[in-house]
Structures are given as C-alpha cells and as structure tokens.
Structure 1
Amino acid sequence: MDQGNTAFILICAALVLLMTPGLAFFYGGLVKAKSVISMMMMSFGALGLIGVLWVLYGYAIAFPAAEGLVAPWAINFDDLGLMTSMVTPEDAAYPPLAFVAFQATFAIITVALVSGAIADRAKFGSWMIFAGIWATVVYFPVASWVFNFGLAEEGGFAYGGWVTYGLQEWLGVGAIDFAGGTAVHINAGAAALALALVLGKRVGFQKGVHVPHNPPFVLLGAGLLWFGWFGFNAGSELAADGTAALAFVNTIAAPAAALLAWLIVEKIKDGKPTSVGAASGAVAGLVAITPACGSLDPIWAVVLGLVAGAVCALAIELKFKLGFDDSLDVVGIHLVGGLIGTLYLGFFARDTGLFMGGDGTQLLAQAIAAFAVLIYSFTIAYLIGLAIEKTIGFRVKNEDEIAGIDTIVHGEEGYVLADGKA
C-alpha cells in the first residue's frame, strides 16, 4: 500500500469537506441580513444529512462493481453501511475507505450548491427532504455514471459507468470529466433551475432590489472554496503525481483568469468592478476548470478561464430577462460554467480535442454526457420539488420572507448587538 498516496487522498478529502462551510459563507454573504442563518444552515444541513446517507447506501449506489457496463441505476447490496469497503485488498494502492471519504465530500458539496437558487424563501425541513430524495435518485446514480471508472486495464476499463466506459465502447472515446463538471456542477445547476421555477420569485424580485448584505463574507467564502478546490481537482487523480500537479496549476490559472474577465465585463457593463464580482468570477473559473483540469495545457486553462469569467458574468443577467429567480446565480455560474468547461474539452483536450488532433468525437461525447445529466437532473428535481410544494409546502409565507426567515425558521438572528437588539 502506498502510504503517500493514501495521505494525499485523505488530505484532499479534508480540503473538499471545507468547501461546504466555505460555500455557507459565500452564499450567506449574498443574501439579506435576516436570512443569513437560513442560508448557511442549508449547507450545514446537507453536510449532516448527505454524510449519513453516503455511509448507509450512497456509496453502494455510486460505486457498484460489475462486469462490463454498470447499469445506470445499480446498487451493491453487499456494501450497504460500507461493509465490504472495510476490507483492504492486499494489492490495493490505498484503503477503499480513503476513496469513500473523498467521494463523500463531493456528494455533500453538490447537494449544498443547489440551495443557492432558493435563498430567502425556503423552509428548512422541506429543503432537507428534497436534499435526501434528490441525492438518492439523482446524485448517487449520476456519480456512478461519471466517476465509477472501474479498474484500469490495457485497452480500456474492466467496468464503469456509461459516461466513461459506455461512451468509450460506443464512440471510441469516453466523456472526460476529471473532477465533476457534469456530476457536480451541471447536475446541481440543473436542479437549482428546477427549484427556482417551483418556488417562484422572491417578493419584489427585480434587478437591483436584492443586494448582498456582507461582501466580506462572500470573499471569505470564495477564498475557502478556492483553497478546498485544490483537493477537489488535484485529489481526483487519486495519486500525488504529474497529473495531480497539472490539475493543481490549472486550478490556479483558470479561476485567476476568470476573475479578471468578470471584472472587465463588470467595468464595461456597470462602470465599476466589485468585490462580489471578483469572488463570483473566481468561482466561475473554478467551476469551468473542474472537468478539464487534468486534460488541458495551462495556457488553454487560462483561455478557458477568460471565456468562463466573461460568459458567466453575462449569463447571470438571464434570470431577469427570462423571469426565473435563481437567487444566488447557481444557474449562471454552475450550470453555465459547467457546460462551458465540459464542452471546451471537445475542442482543446489533449490529443482528442477537435483542435488538438481529434476528429470531433470527443466533442460529441462531451455533449451527450453534459445534456443527459442536465435533462435528467432538471426533470427529477422539478418533480421532487413540485411534490413537496403541493404537499407540505416548500416556500415560506410572503410576510415571513419580507420580515426575514431566520427567526421564523430557526429562532436565531445573524447579528445581535451587546444590548440584545439585532
């Protein structure tokens, strides 16, 4: 067993876990002051719930073993409660539980990302029900499609999900998703769009009305996310080697370029570059480089960052033109950024991209994977959200939304002065 790689995976898992509290700060700073507790609690609620579900059955759904192509919806009943993962084979490069821990953090952050679309107006209990059901029927199976890459052999894989192994068998190349452009960002972004449509617009929704109450929180959250993202991307190599180093460098280059591009667009469009724009640009670049970090030369990572930062800065305006209230721009950053990064590989992936010696097949594989996940996640999320809204209700009362839902839902206030007044 390689103790160095084992330590690397465990450290990366800890980094990715930190991303969820980082997301809580990022999202918490973007909402109004009287909703900050509610917003941050949705991230922490996902951390608790999905962490438990992953141990009980999530891993067994996401990583079932099979001969050849793993069925799109499969489960390893022998690994419920991680029973078989407790055993470390003699020839293993690292303990199976190290990989279990690493992938658990991906499941947690993906579910938490969705919550940004329903800020200021969602019931916590309804959110937790949605999170558990969506993780079970969407995230866990989609993780199997993308991340269940099987055992490496000469000429291919012994088994795997259809996004990797299946498309490789059918097209000659599998879709590339190094760290979760489809399984994490497109998946979460599509679900966020569905929930935004189900819950409807916030009271008084229009451009300029809902402004971030705490930009320093947003910057702190973005910094924690960027820090944790090195574990997210480099750790997906599952070894401390040259590919991990490439992913690490690209995780510096792309978000740095995206940050600059976002600020330039802001300056041209609105006259002033903002701190929230800088944070959002960095996150957009991180989203875009996630699927591509192990397959791009650094110069092409910079180009990707510039494209993602500029396009996402414009894409967040779509909610005002199309009339859906994606509160914290999960669609504009994660769905759009994930699509950009995933499809970009079809053009610039080493050896297989259209402009890098390929023939267009890689682009086809990327498009199939991206839009299949998008359609599946959106459809199921919409149905789950609608069922919750029509039964126990998903949205708080308008008067509670106007007053601020922290005290109504959690009995707490985000900011209390020494004399006890908020």
Structure 2
Amino acid sequence: MNGVNSGDTAFVIFSTALVMLMTPGLALFYAGMVRKKNVLSTTMHSYVAVVIVSLQWILVGYTLAFGKDISGIIGNFQFAGLKGVGFVPNADYAATIPHQAFMLFQLMFAIITPALISGAIAERMKFMSFVVFLVLWTTLVYDPLAHWVWGVNGWIRNLGALDFAGGDVVHISSGVSALVAAIMLGARKRKETVTPHNIPMTVLGAALLWFGWFGFNAGSALGINNLALNAFITTNTAAAASALAWGVCEYIHRKKVTTLGVASGAVAGLVAITPGAGFVSPLASILIGLIGGVICFSSVTFLKAKLGYDDALDAFGCHGIGGIWGGIATGIFAWKGINTAGDNGVLHGNIALLGKQLVGIGATIVYAAVVTFIILKVIDVVMGLRVTEEEEQAGLDVSLHGEDAYGGLN
C-alpha cells in the first residue's frame, strides 16, 4: 500500500522509540554527575527539551529542515504544522516508510541535540533563559544544519560530505555550542568540591544511551537492510573500543580505572562512530573507537584544564571533539564496499572525501558558534543568563524549582 513496507516501518518506529529513550537516559547521565542540590535542575534540562522541541518540530522545525530547498540553506514552509505529512512516503527521504514515521524519527534527533548542550551550563543557568534558548537554538541552528547536511539540495549534502546519523548535525553543533555557552556563562562558584553525587545514576544513563544509540545509528538506515546491520555492529564495536581506550588512558595517567571513565569512554565512542556508522567497516570502527577514546580523554583531562573553561559535564569534550574526530574518520575510512551510496575515503584511494568532510565540519563549527553566541547575547540582554550567586550556592533545585531531590540530605 502506497509503497509502505511493513517491516521497514516497524523497524523505524522501534528505532524512534529507542532514540526517544536516549534523552531520559541523558538526563540520568548528566544528573548523576552534578551535586545533590542541582540534580532536578539538570534533569529538567533534558525533559524540557522533549517538551519544547516536540512542539517546535511540528509547527516549523520539520519543514525548515526537510521542506523544499531554498538556495541550499533552509527548507520552505510546505510542511508547516505537518501539512501534507501523512501516511504516504516522502520518496525524497524514505520510500518504504510513512512520511509521518520519518518525521517522528527525525524529531527524536532534534530533541536530544539541544539537550546535550545543557551539560555545559549545568548548575548555573536560569531555567527560563534555557527554555528560550531551546526554542531559538533549535530553530536557528539545528534546523538549518539538518537541511544543509540531510535535506535534498542542502549545500553540504550536494558537496558530497557524509554524515550517516548526525556527526555534524547533532554532535559537533551541540558540542561547539556547549563550549560557547560555558565560556559565556563563566565558571561555577567553587565554594565546595564539585564531584559527582551519584555515579551509579550516571552509569545507568550511559547504559540507556548505549542501548538507544542502536536506534540512533542503525535506524538511520531507515529500513531493514545491510546498512542497518552494519551500523548496529560498528556502533557497538566503537563504543567498546573507546571505553577500553579511555580506561587504559586513565590507568596510565592515574593508575586507576574509574567507572565514570569507562562510561564516558563508551559515550565518546558512540559519538565518534555516528557520522560513519553506515559507511565504514567493523574493523575500521575499532580504530575509530580507540582513537576517539584517547582524543576525548585528553580533551576532558588536559585541554579543559589548560584553557580553563568550565564545561561542567564535558559536552564539548565528548560530543564536540568526538564528533569532529568522527567526521574526519569518515573521510579516512569510508568505503563504497559497505555503502554504494557513500564514497571511498583516504584508505580506499580518495583523499577528496576528507576535504569535503573538513569543509562540512568547519562550516558547522563556525555557524553553530556564531549563532549560539548571538542567541545567548540577546537572551542575556533581555532576561539574563546566569542565576545569582545566592541561588547558585543554595542549589538550583530549591532556588529555581522549589524542590529537593533527597529530602534535605546533602
């Protein structure tokens, strides 16, 4: 009926549910790493992203990302309010599943991306300012980037750069924006030791992220096919390799392997493989994960300390740095033997793809950084970005939300 394949449709709907679960998983991952007095505030950042972006996507987000192209930059308003988005497939993007299923799958990507940024501003940003930021950032940064990379006639897509499941669109954009936000807000007031209050909570969040990432990457094949299976294998393999690499780095540096480190390493590997999951081989994914774990560990451990920015939960160190490496790695390891719709990378005789990858990465970094800076500057002028020193000291759970996660236990 209408070209719809029931198996592909069931797979994409299931993958959509998996990706949706990632944002609550992110809430746990982040919330465990903050102090007790900020756990609910940090959790709210992820859940309010679900609320705000779910509405924004229906009204204008989807059409800006996937509507008819305007000059390679943005989609038009043909799908505003989901007009014309029904059961019949949109053959430009997914010919075997309902258009509505494709829209919903993409929605879950749009939700988690700005939620990732919240890791950099934890424990010090005003809640209502973050809500306004969500609306503006999703509309002005995420939606155009999604069109550039994935939209028909988007300029990065036409260039030939590859991004299977969101290296540019999700991870580099959020990671770079997180760095800008961390710098603009300034460091937290360190009047007490800033240590994770519940590492088991963070590990549970990491497990849910790993689980959901199979929908994130394998689901991006948009059907039951060889690409979905390859993406599933490379996703798991890179995560394992990166967790191993992070643990080894910790042991060399501190003579201890930490639970938080292994969990962070797994997430770094998941980030690194995302742009290439459907373009590289399982053997290549081992190298991508190993190198990604080392690079992200070094960023979190050394780069942040050297430069002095307070990326509270290492959104830039894992997602920005990991996404940049993943995009570069795709330009090195991509192989048409895995995906004929892709391209060969450097190891398969085509250095040109690496150049295209670097252009896409560079454009994403510059655009996300500049627009994020402008958005935050405007919000700061209109309503302020940062809580007062007294509110920060008391904890954002009580001062902003009037709640205490642990009944007064500190």
What TM-score range do you get, normalising by the shorter chain?
over 0.9
Alignment of 1:251-266 (within 5 A): 251-266=235-250
Q: Which amino acid aligns with 1:254?
A: A
- Alignment partner, residue 156 of structure 2: 163
- Alignment partner, residue 44 of structure 2: 41
- Alignment partner, residue 343 of structure 1: 328
Q: Which amino acid aligns with 1:50?
A: V
Alignment of 1:284-363 (within 5 A): 284-317=268-301, 318-351=303-336, 352-358=344-350, 360-363=351-354
Supply the distance in 1 between the matched residues of 2:169 and 2:211 (Cα, whole angstroms): 21
Instruction: State the shift of 1:403 in Å.
Output: 1.9
- Is 1:404 the counterpart of 2:395? The answer is yes
**Aligned residue pair count:** 396
Instruction: State the shift of 1:71 in Å.
Output: 2.3
Conserved? CA contact 1:24–1:40, under 8 Å:
yes
Conserved? CA contact 2:75–2:147, under 8 Å:
no
Alignment of 1:131-210 (within 5 A): 131-148=134-151, 150=152, 160-165=153-158, 167=159, 174-204=160-190, 209-210=193-194
- Alignment partner, residue 80 of structure 1: 80
Q: Which amino acid aligns with 1:255?
A: A
Residue deviations 1:222-259 (CA, integer Å, cap 9, x gap): 00000000000000010111110000001110000000
2:114 paired residue among 106, 111, 116: 111
Instruction: State the shift of 1:87 in Å.
Output: 5.3
Instruction: State the shift of 1:40 in Å.
Output: 0.5
Supply the distance in 1 between the matched residues of 2:365 and 2:86 (Cα, whole angstroms): 34
Alignment of 1:205-244 (within 5 A): 209-244=193-228
- Is 1:71 the counterpart of 2:71? The answer is yes
Instruction: State the shift of 1:86 in Å.
Output: 2.1
- SS of structure 2 residue aligned to 1:396: coil
Supply the distance in 1 between the matched residues of 2:114 and 2:15 (Cα, whole angstroms): 19
Q: Which amino acid aligns with 2:235?
A: T
Supply the distance in 1 between the matched residues of 2:261 and 2:72 (Cα, whole angstroms): 39
- Alignment partner, residue 170 of structure 1: none
Supply the distance in 1 between the matched residues of 2:104 and 2:76 (Cα, whole angstroms): 17
Conserved? CA contact 1:263–1:281, under 8 Å:
yes
Instruction: State the shift of 1:74 in Å.
Output: 2.9
Supply the distance in 2 between the matched residues of 1:28 and 1:72 (Cα, whole angstroms): 38
Supply the distance in 2 between the matched residues of 1:80 and 1:129 (Cα, whole angstroms): 21
The RMSD of aligned alpha carbons is 1.5
What TM-score do the two structures reach when normalised by structure 2? 0.94
Conserved? CA contact 1:23–1:43, under 8 Å:
yes
- Alignment partner, residue 3 of structure 1: 6
- SS of structure 2 residue aligned to 1:291: helix
Supply the distance in 1 between the matched residues of 2:61 and 2:294 (Cα, whole angstroms): 36
2:405 paired residue among 393, 396, 414: 414
- Alignment partner, residue 97 of structure 1: 100
- Alignment partner, residue 123 of structure 2: 120
Gaps of 5+ in 2: 337-343
Conserved? CA contact 1:61–1:73, under 8 Å:
no
Identity value in percent: 45
Supply the distance in 2 between the matched residues of 1:201 and 1:412 (Cα, whole angstroms): 24
- SS of structure 1 residue aligned to 2:55: helix
Supply the distance in 1 between the matched residues of 2:255 and 2:189 (Cα, whole angstroms): 28
Residue deviations 1:270-325 (CA, integer Å, cap 9, x gap): 12111110110000000000001111111110011000011101101322210211
Conserved? CA contact 2:67–2:78, under 8 Å:
no
- SS of structure 1 residue aligned to 2:348: coil
Instruction: State the shift of 1:383 in Å.
Output: 1.2
Supply the distance in 1 between the matched residues of 2:257 and 2:41 (Cα, whole angstroms): 29
- Alignment partner, residue 15 of structure 2: 12
Instruction: State the shift of 1:357 in Å.
Output: 2.0
Supply the distance in 1 between the matched residues of 2:57 and 2:332 (Cα, whole angstroms): 35
Supply the distance in 2 between the matched residues of 1:394 and 1:72 (Cα, whole angstroms): 33
- SS of structure 2 residue aligned to 1:262: helix
What TM-score do the two structures reach when normalised by structure 1? 0.91
Instruction: State the shift of 1:388 in Å.
Output: 1.3
Instruction: State the shift of 1:399 in Å.
Output: 1.9
Conserved? CA contact 1:262–1:310, under 8 Å:
yes
Instruction: State the shift of 1:387 in Å.
Output: 1.7
Residue deviations 1:371-392 (CA, integer Å, cap 9, x gap): 1001100111011112212221
Alignment of 1:361-400 (within 5 A): 361-400=352-391
Supply the distance in 2 between the matched residues of 1:386 and 1:101 (Cα, whole angstroms): 32
- Is 1:274 the counterpart of 2:246? The answer is no
Conserved? CA contact 1:117–1:195, under 8 Å:
yes
Conserved? CA contact 1:72–1:141, under 8 Å:
no
Greater CA drift, 285-294 or 312-321: 312-321
Instruction: State the shift of 1:343 in Å.
Output: 0.4
Residue deviations 1:36-86 (CA, integer Å, cap 9, x gap): 0000100000110001000001001000124xxx52443332311101112
Instruction: State the shift of 1:204 in Å.
Output: 2.0
Q: Which amino acid aligns with 2:154?
A: G
Supply the distance in 2 between the matched residues of 1:299 and 1:93 (Cα, whole angstroms): 30
- SS of structure 1 residue aligned to 2:147: helix
Supply the distance in 2 between the matched residues of 1:51 and 1:301 (Cα, whole angstroms): 32
Supply the distance in 2 between the matched residues of 1:37 and 1:391 (Cα, whole angstroms): 26
